[in-house]
Structure 1
Amino acid sequence: MQTDLVAALDIGGTKIAGALVDDHGRILLRAQRPTPAREDGNTVMRAVEAVLGELTAAPLWDRARAVGIGSAGPVDASTGTVSPVNVPGWRDFPLVERVRAVTGGLPVELVGDGVAMTAAEHWQGAARGHDNALCLVVSTGVGGGLVLGGKLHPGPTGNAGHIGHISVDLDGDPCPCGARGCVERIASGPNIARRALEDGWRPGPDGDLSAAAVAAAARAGDTVAVASFERAAQALAAGIAATATLVEIDIAVVGGGVAKAGEILFAPLRRSLRDYATLSFVRRLTVAPARTGTDAGLVGAAAAALTRDRDVSPL
């Protein structure tokens, strides 16, 4: 017996990926285009349409029953629009309406990319079996999403759980979002590298200025590099503990490029969490690395569409 499929889109500043996904989270067909992020909005949309065109042209498309979109944000699911910071041509862009037109009027579920990653981790990854979870993407920015009461909780606009813009340093550096001392301003990859450079770290002969290079230096014992990761871990711990205190999550799953630093990040994160998650009902909170990898956006977008379609978790 052939099962229904969902179409998934994972839209970021670098690539636009699409897939047809079954109800076990298996990707049966893929398509991808570079994101023309510096072009006008319609040019970006043509890249989305090219990805969807590959999917709709395939024989498997006849089994597609819904579309899930995980997009760089901000997104607004209540209006079906997106305004990704890293795609300036899209401001209040009517993405849901345009995708619906290309896909023959299929139902479309839009969530932020952090929420999509959360859906993937709850369905297939480290948050599986947890009814209350926070999942974080720590990369160029810091995003996240929530599972509450066993269900994905995207919130009215699809942005709930966006931990990157919790302020954890009231007099801290201004954040591009307009606030001060946000988690993202301290813990994102570019800010880990910026702080290390400001404090005296210097890259190797290859000139690599990335957070991955800082992590490699930390592994080699560079004290400035270690300190920059410890500061990032402290900010993440404060944000995670605040979220746990508010909604009683029992696990925080951390993914994204910065999480690839491994114990350089996770060891100080666990230590700092003990300093912030002090109340009795959050002391059992655990932290785990994400498991769904580079397909998290696609699998999570599919999970979000399945959740909406059935009003249940796809587990």
Structure 2
Amino acid sequence: MTTDLVAAVDIGGTKIAGALVTGEGELLHRAQRPTPARESAAAVLRAVTDVVTRLTESGDWSRVRALGIGSAGPLDARLGSVSPVNIPVWRDFPLVEGVRGVVGELPVTLVGDGAAIAAGEHWRGAARGRRNALCMVVSTGVGGGLIVDDRLYAGPTGNAGHIGHISVDFNGDLCPCGGRGCVERIASGTNIARYALAAGWRPADQGGDATTAGVAAAAAAGDPVAREAFDRSARALAAGIAATATLVELETVVIGGGVSQAGEVLFAPVRRALAEYATLPYVQGIDVVPAQLGTDAGLVGAAAASWRESGTFLSRGEAGN
């Protein structure tokens, strides 16, 4: 029997997506469900297993050798459990055990969503060919994953690289994680919009759009308050990047997620602030680039992690060989 595919699932606070993935990173037989994050733990698991079941019903399921899952975290990959901040009904939830009823004894690899994005961008995206990279998602939260010495480094529990919860302001606001002044509490899309509105920005000129996209449009048009909201976010991101680079020596930082769609409104101040914060010789000159995989990054990355775990790499950029 030919087993030249892996199944991949990407679990987030708003949607659960799945696909079969080839060794070249091509996505086949997609399935998707909304995440019932405010219902019950069992309801969220049913949504996950429904997505996986739809994949098993494809004509190619017999070719699948393993399942890779990228989930919002934190998680414990050793135990196969997850406690996503944005899925409050899952706390220490035995996710791997929960999908066994559908996939049986098929090998299952569980990684955090930030690690999945890093694996995906390293395999098929903006970090391809780079041996040391930080890949970030800046959206309603801020997550990340690390590529170290050409391999995904997820850490013992699967949470390494979670830059969103580095504290960059020890007198800052309390973060939902329990810390203070976290990168996420300043730099996420939610907090960019919150800060802009509190500082007096009004979204009338953006058709009443009070979201981060509205703030980004206003900043691009030169609104000083909107620009300050993005500059503040950029400084927090740059401080977290500089701290990470000081520890692990990075070549490249890849930024994706909804906030990255602001383009140079975000990237230009991140690069300026990083030049101020990353001053030691070995952390200067880090490339900061947009992600390339878009909304498929989590699926491609979950597949990449699964290929890596199985020890099989079918094409170069090879899933973090």
Question: Counterpart of 1:32?
Answer: 32
Distance 1:174 1:29 in 2: 42
Query: How high is the TM-score relative to the length of structure 1?
Result: 0.97
Residue 193 of structure 1 and its aligned partner are, at CA, apart by 0.6
Range moving further from structure 2, 29-38 or 270-279: 29-38
Question: Counterpart of 1:169?
Answer: 169
Correspondence 1:302 to 2:303: yes
One-letter amino acid of the counterpart of residue 214, structure 1: V
- Give 1:143-154 correspondences, 5 Å limit: 143-154=143-154
One-letter amino acid of the counterpart of residue 219, structure 1: A
Question: Counterpart of 1:225?
Answer: 226
Distance 2:43 2:4 in 1: 31
CA RMSD of aligned residues (A): 1.4
Distance 1:273 1:214 in 2: 22
Structure 1 segments of 4+ aligned residues over 2 angstroms from their partners = 311-315
Question: Counterpart of 1:22?
Answer: 22
Residue 3 of structure 1 and its aligned partner are, at CA, apart by 5.6
The residue matched to 1:87 in structure 2 has which SS? coil
Unaligned runs of 5+ in 2: none
Distance 2:302 2:185 in 1: 27
> In the alignment, is the contact (CA less than 8 A) between 1:100 and 1:107 conserved in 2?
no
Range moving further from structure 2, 1-10 or 238-247: 1-10
Query: How high is the TM-score relative to the length of structure 2?
Result: 0.95
Question: Counterpart of 1:208?
Answer: 209
Q: How many residues align?
A: 315
Residue 242 of structure 1 and its aligned partner are, at CA, apart by 0.6
Residue 169 of structure 1 and its aligned partner are, at CA, apart by 0.9
Question: Counterpart of 1:76?
Answer: 76
> In the alignment, is the contact (CA less than 8 A) between 2:3 and 2:64 conserved in 1?
no
Question: Counterpart of 2:61?
Answer: 61
The residue matched to 1:301 in structure 2 has which SS? helix
The residue matched to 2:253 in structure 1 has which SS? strand
Correspondence 1:180 to 2:180: yes
CA deviation digits over 1:219-263, x for unaligned, max 9? 111000001100100110010011001000111100000000000
The residue matched to 2:268 in structure 1 has which SS? helix
Residue 38 of structure 1 and its aligned partner are, at CA, apart by 1.1
- Give 1:281-296 correspondences, 5 Å limit: 281-296=282-297
Residue 311 of structure 1 and its aligned partner are, at CA, apart by 7.1
> In the alignment, is the contact (CA less than 8 A) between 2:3 and 2:65 conserved in 1?
no
Question: Counterpart of 1:97?
Answer: 97
Residue 2 of structure 1 and its aligned partner are, at CA, apart by 5.5
Distance 1:242 1:311 in 2: 34
> In the alignment, is the contact (CA less than 8 A) between 2:139 and 2:188 conserved in 1?
yes
Residue 207 of structure 1 and its aligned partner are, at CA, apart by 2.7
Distance 2:56 2:218 in 1: 47
The residue matched to 1:33 in structure 2 has which SS? strand
Distance 2:38 2:286 in 1: 41
The residue matched to 1:281 in structure 2 has which SS? helix
Unaligned runs of 5+ in 1: none
The residue matched to 2:154 in structure 1 has which SS? coil
